Structure formats: structure tokens, C-alpha cells
Structure 1
Amino acid sequence: MENKLVITMVLYQTKFSETPSYDYIKRVISEKKSVYLFIYDNSQNEQADTLFSFQNVRYVHDGTNPGLAKAYNAGRHCLNEVQGDLLLLLDQDTLLDEHYLERLLSLSLDPEVGAYVPIVSSHGRQISPVFSDKYIGGQSELPKAGIYSEKIMSINSGTVLPEATLSSIGSFNLDFPLDFLDHWLFWKIHQLDKKISVLNNHLTHDLSVLDYQTINSKRYESIIRGETLFYKKYDQEQFYNHRRHLLLRTVKQFLRVKNRKIWRRTFLEYRSLMKGK
């Protein structure tokens, strides 16, 4: 018997029909009774699509744009309603691979595994998952396919959470509405002494926040606030490494990034953490 899977996709200022996985999801939803689609639309205007009338599709519009955490909590509620086994988190910029979905439906769920994750690449290089026993940076080690008890972090998109994990976590942390929610999630899974299964499946994702040249100041503010909260309140062992990294980042941004607000904001955060030590 196939696992019952709920795909939770969060949209922002993008038509569902224009997402890279649309055609594949449309076919799966039409053919598979064990697959449900939950769409949480943070766009300014509500949208319509023929798929929204399907029995195994739920669409929610929220023009207040609360981010990811609230959307994922709503997706978890949908999983409970349909008595599902797995919750797949999916970003609008991720291309869902057919083989990955088939693998998820046929998985023999291991009670010791807290999450199943694919290998995700952006612009030709692997960005997820990474080992997170040390401070995560450009030189972080990348795990291969396998089951790990070590600390691992994966981006939200593509991550699959068993119902048992969601019950243990309780809910997604609303203190991280957008950025660093993934760090908190995998930190929490590690606190539960659960393992991470890295599957030998590859997804592509357009991660725009990789480039400080193109990121806007508002999004960077969200990132840096999420970082500090995570290291001050949760992964406290890495707090001093984070503070040191902020200074190094300031220098790099001063030399390389045209938007002067970026390096100034990083240095301001560094100074704030130094005063509070």
C-alpha cells in the first residue's frame, strides 16, 4: 500500500500554473488518490486554477503574507484531516522530480528517521543537505545518500516529514516566519534524537538568497534577524562562531556588494551582539 502524501506548496506573487512542477503535479493529482495537494497562497491577489476544484486539492489565500511557518502549520492540519503519512514541503521555485515522488510513496517508514530529504542543487552546485555540527558556511561538508545520526540541515523545499515527527515537534515555530525556519526544524529533529535519511534523488531549486548582489534589503533583514535568533536561542554552541562570521561577512560585503545597506546592516548586527556579550 502506498504512503498517503500531502504536498504543501507555498506561493508568493506567482501563479500556480507558472511553477516549474505544475504539469507534473497536475498529472499526479489526477492519477493518484494517495497524493493530496495543499496550496497556501501568500500573494496579494487570490488566484484560480482548474486543479483547485479537485477533491484532493486544498487552496488557501492569505494576502497578509505571513511567510512559511503559518503555511506549514496549515499543511500539517491538512495532513491530519486526511490521515496522511508524509508531509512534503515544496517551494514554488523547486522542480519536483517524478522519481522522487514515486520513492516517497513506496518508502518503508523507519520510526528512527525524523525526516527524508533529497539532494538539492541550485545553479549547478549542491546547496542541501549539509552537515550542521559546525557553523554552516561556504565550506560546509555535504552528505551523500544514506541515513545519518549526525546533525544535518536541509532546506525546507523537498523535505519530507513523517506524521510521527510532526506530532513530536508540535508545530512549526512562528518565531521564524520565513528565514532560518529550516535550521530550527532540523535542530529540533536532532533534539528528538531522530535520524535524517538522505535519499539518492536530486531536485533543482532556484535559491535567490545565495547572491548578495541581487538580494534586497528587506529580505536580508529577515535573514539576519532569523540568524541571530537561531544562534542566540537554539543552536547556542555556534553563537560565537556566528558573531565572528558576521565580521568576516561585513568585510566581504564591503568589498564585493554594491548595495551598501547590506554590509552596513551586517556590521550593525555584529556590533549589537558584541555589546550584548
Structure 2
Amino acid sequence: MENTLVITIVLYQTKFSKTPSYEYLKKIINEQRPVYLFIYDNSQKAQEDELFHKENVYYVHDETNPGLARAYNAGAQYLAEVQGELMLLLDQDTLVEEAYLEMLCSLKLAEDIGAYVPIVHSHGRQISPLFSDKYVGRQSELPKVGTYSERIMSINSGTVLPKTTLTSIGSFNLDFPLDFLDHWLFWEIHRLNKKISVVDYQLEHDLSVLDYQTISSERYESIIRGETLFYQKYDQDKFYSHKRQLILRTIKQFLRVKNRKIWRRTLVEYRSLMKGK
């Protein structure tokens, strides 16, 4: 018997038909499988698509652009309504192929697994998942396929959450509307003593926030606020490491990043945290 899967995809200023996974999603939706598609559109204007009229597709437009957390909460509510067993989180920039969706439909679920995650690559290197027992950075160790009780962090997109996990966490944390929501999610899953299953599948994702040369000052503001909140309020054991990382990052950004607002903002954050100690 197949799992009932709800795919929750969040859009922003992008036509659904232009997303890299569109044709694969369209195919599986048209096959009358136990698969539902929940689309949360944060764009300024609503859009139309032939799939929006399918019985197993639900489209929501929210011009206020609240980010990811509220969209995922709405997706979780939809999963409860259709009595789904798994929710796949999907960004508009992630290429998810039919084989991955087929795998999820036939996945044998285990009660002690809090999340199923693929191996995700961006621009030729693995960006997710990462071991997160230490401060997460470029030097973090990379788990292979398998099941882990150790702390692991994975990006939102591609992550699959059983309904039991969604019930246990209650709701996605609105304190992290966009950035560091994934860090909070996997911190919470570990706190619940759930394991992480790294499945034998690889996805491609365009993670633009990896490049300080192209990131906007507004997006960097969101990242650094979410980052500090996470280490101040939740993963507090790494707060000292976070402060140390900020000063090292300031120096690197001063030397390498053309947008001078970026390194100045990092320095301001560092000084603010040092004053508060």
C-alpha cells in the first residue's frame, strides 16, 4: 500500500510552470496516485495553471509574503485534512524527479524516524545534510546514506516529514519566517529523540545564499537575524562559536565582498552580541 504524500511547494515571483520540477509534479498528479500538491504562492500577483483545477491540488496566494513557516503550517493543515502520511517540503529552485516521488510513495515508514532527507547538491558540492553536533559551516562533516541518531541538519527543500513529526512539533516556528527555519526544525526533531534517515537519492538545488557576492543586503539581514536568534534562544551551546564565527566572517567579507554593507552588518552584529555577552 502506497503512502499518501503531500508535496508542499512555496513560490515567490516565479511562475509555477517555470519551476524545474514542474513536469515531474504534473506527471505524478495526473496519474491519480495518492499524491496531493499544496502550492503556497508568496508572489505579488496570483497566477493560473491547469493543475490548480485538479481535485488533488490546492493553490493559495498570499501577497503579504510571510515566508516559509506560515506556508508550511498551512501545508501541514492540508495534510491533516486529506489524511496524508508524509509531507515533502519543496522550494521553487529544487529539481525533484519522478524517481524520488516514487521512492517516497513506497517508503517503509518507521516510528522512530523524524525526517527522511536526500543528499542535496548545489553548484557541484554537497550542501545538505550536515552533521550539526558542532557549529555548522563549510568544514562540517557530511553523512552518507543511513539512519542516524546523531544531530543532523538538512535544508528544508527535499525534506520529508511524517505526520507524527508534524504532530509532535505542533507547528513551524514563526520566529523563523524564512532563514534558519531548517536549523530550528532539525534541532526540534533531535530534541524529540527522533532519528534522521538519509535516503539513497540525490537532488539538485540552486542555493543562491551561498554567494555573498550576489546576495542582497535585505536577504543577508534576514539570515543574520535568524542565525543569532537560533543560537541565542535554541542551540545555546554554540552561541560562543557563533560570536567567534561572526568576527572571522567580518574579516573575510571585508577582503572579498564588494558590497560593503555586508561586512559592516556582520561587524554590527558581532559588536552587539559582545556588548550583551
Q: Same fold (TM over 0.5)?
A: yes
What's the % identity of the aligned pairs? Answer: 76
SS of 2:157's partner is: coil
Deviation at 1:99, TM superposition (A): 1.6
SS of 2:268's partner is: helix
Deviation at 1:247, TM superposition (A): 0.2
Cα RMSD for the two superposed structures: 0.4
Runs of 4+ in 1 over 4 A off after TM superposition: none
Summarize the alignment of residues 60-139 of structure 1 with structure 2, pairs less than 5 Å apart. Answer: 60-139=60-139
Deviation at 1:66, TM superposition (A): 0.2
Distance (Å, rounded) in 2 between the aligned partners of 1:61 and 1:116: 28
Deviation at 1:33, TM superposition (A): 2.8
Summarize the alignment of residues 1-277 of structure 1 with structure 2, pairs less than 5 Å apart. Answer: 1-277=1-277
1:97, 1:202 within 8 Å by CA — same for their partners in 2?
no
- Letter in structure 2 aligned against 1:256: R
- Letter in structure 2 aligned against 1:265: R
SS of 2:243's partner is: helix
Distance (Å, rounded) in 1 between the aligned partners of 2:32 and 2:154: 27
The worse-fitting range, judged by mean Cα deviation, of 101-110 and 189-198 is 101-110
Distance (Å, rounded) in 2 between the aligned partners of 1:34 and 1:117: 20
- Letter in structure 1 aligned against 2:24: Y
Deviation at 1:97, TM superposition (A): 2.1
Distance (Å, rounded) in 1 between the aligned partners of 2:132 and 2:77: 29
- Letter in structure 1 aligned against 2:16: F
Deviation at 1:32, TM superposition (A): 3.3
The size of the alignment, in residue pairs, is 277
Q: TM-score, normalised by structure 1?
A: 1.00
SS of 2:64's partner is: coil
SS of 1:109's partner is: coil
1:33, 1:56 within 8 Å by CA — same for their partners in 2?
no
The worse-fitting range, judged by mean Cα deviation, of 32-41 and 161-170 is 32-41
- Letter in structure 2 aligned against 1:70: R
Deviation at 1:171, TM superposition (A): 0.1
Q: 5+ unaligned residues in a row in structure 1: which ranges?
A: none
Distance (Å, rounded) in 2 between the aligned partners of 1:90 and 1:128: 14
Q: TM-score, normalised by structure 2?
A: 1.00
- Letter in structure 1 aligned against 2:55: Q
Deviation at 1:105, TM superposition (A): 0.5
2:28, 2:98 within 8 Å by CA — same for their partners in 1?
no
SS of 1:240's partner is: helix
Distance (Å, rounded) in 1 between the aligned partners of 2:44 and 2:245: 36
SS of 1:142's partner is: coil
Distance (Å, rounded) in 2 between the aligned partners of 1:121 and 1:114: 22
Q: What is the CA deviation profile of residues 227-277 of structure 1, one whole-angstrom value per residue up to 9, with x for unaligned ones?
A: 000000000000000000000000000000000000000000000000001
Q: What is the CA deviation profile of residues 91-116 of structure 1, one whole-angstrom value per residue up to 9, with x for unaligned ones?
A: 00000022211111111100000000
- Letter in structure 2 aligned against 1:86: L
SS of 1:161's partner is: strand
Distance (Å, rounded) in 1 between the aligned partners of 2:129 and 2:78: 26
SS of 1:45's partner is: coil
The worse-fitting range, judged by mean Cα deviation, of 94-103 and 239-248 is 94-103
- Letter in structure 1 aligned against 2:178: L
